[in-house]
């Protein structure tokens, strides 16, 4: 498995998809529903670090598509602030909450304007299932978590967002907050 820690990337990878699982959430807030669970301290720290890293290595998205669940909203806003991406430009897609790979693919296929690089902020297990669908067989890390909280997978995608068949993408890198410089 490739780890994208140094910022190197192909000269012209074409279309890219950045899959970001929301940062670590707080289970002890008394939130009325799972949808309303906020980030915990670590999550509030990891999200901007990831955004800063994305900016530093030149992986600024053309479009950010995010789940409106509280922890995903907080993650997307913190990442985008560090990236300099306008928060009013984030597209909040209700279907991304608890979405399986079919729904996630449908949301990507519906993109208009054919953006070159998309950041998708959502939840597991759907994101991991989408990653495995798009890239085919992937080695599971020793800890059993392909996409733990605040992990980002970078994929080279087909030229057309509407063509997202199984195995159509290539994993360019996978980064976790612990891999990032402090």
- Residue 95: inside a domain: yes
Tokens of 96: 């991304």
Active site residues: 22, 98
Task: Give yes or no for residue 148 having a pLDDT over 50.
Answer: yes
Domain holding 82, by residue range, is: 15-179
- Residue 3: inside a domain: no
- Residue 170: inside a domain: yes
The number of distinct structural domains making up the chain is: 1
- Residue 121: inside a domain: yes
- Residue 5: inside a domain: no
The predicted structure's pLDDT at residue 113: 79
The full DSSP string for 39-99 is: B-HHHHHHHHHHHHHHHHTT---SEEEE--SHHHHHHHHHHHHHHT--GGGPEE-GGGTT-
Mean pLDDT to the nearest integer, 57-85: 97
- Residue 8: inside a domain: no
Beta bridge partners of 155: 17, 171
pTM (predicted TM-score): 0.91
- Across the chain, mean pLDDT equals 91
The predicted structure's pLDDT at residue 55: 97
CATH code: domain of residue 80: 3.40.50.1240
The predicted structure's pLDDT at residue 181: 81
Q: Measured between alpha carbons, how far apart are the two ends of the chain, in Å?
A: 23
Backbone angles phi, psi at 159, to 5 degrees: -65, -20
Could you tell me which residues are annotated as the binding site? 21-28, 71
Among 178, 143, 141, 127, CA closest to 2: 141
Could you tell me which residues are annotated as the binding site for substrate? 21-28, 71
Residue scoring higher pLDDT (7 or 177): 177
Task: Give yes or no for residue 166 having a pLDDT over 80.
Answer: yes
Task: Give yes or no for residue 2 having a pLDDT over 70.
Answer: no
Each residue's pLDDT tens digit, 5-22: 334 433 345 899 999 999
- Residue 175: inside a domain: yes
The predicted structure's pLDDT at residue 9: 38
């Amino acid at each position: 498995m490739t780890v994208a820690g140094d910022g190197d990337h192909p000269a012209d990878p074409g279309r890219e998809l950045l899959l970001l699982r929301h940062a670590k959430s707080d289970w002890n807030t008394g939130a009325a529903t799972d949808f309303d669970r906020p980030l915990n301290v670590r999550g509030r720290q990891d999200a901007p670090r990831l955004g800063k890293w994305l900016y530093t290595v030149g992986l600024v998205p053309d479009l950010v598509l995010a789940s409106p669940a509280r922890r995903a909203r907080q993650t997307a806003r913190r990442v985008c602030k560090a990236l300099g991406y306008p928060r009013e430009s984030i597209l909040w897609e209700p279907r991304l909450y608890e979405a399986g790979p079919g729904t996630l693919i449908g949301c990507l296929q519906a993109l208009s304007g054919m953006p070159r690089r998309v950041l998708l902020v959502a939840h597991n297990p759907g994101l991991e299932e989408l990653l495995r669908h798009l890239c085919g067989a992937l080695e599971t890390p020793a800890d059993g978590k392909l996409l733990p909280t605040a992990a980002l997978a970078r994929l080279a995608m087909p030229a057309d967002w509407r063509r997202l068949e199984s195995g159509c993408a290539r994993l360019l890198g996978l980064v976790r907050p612990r891999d990032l410089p402090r």
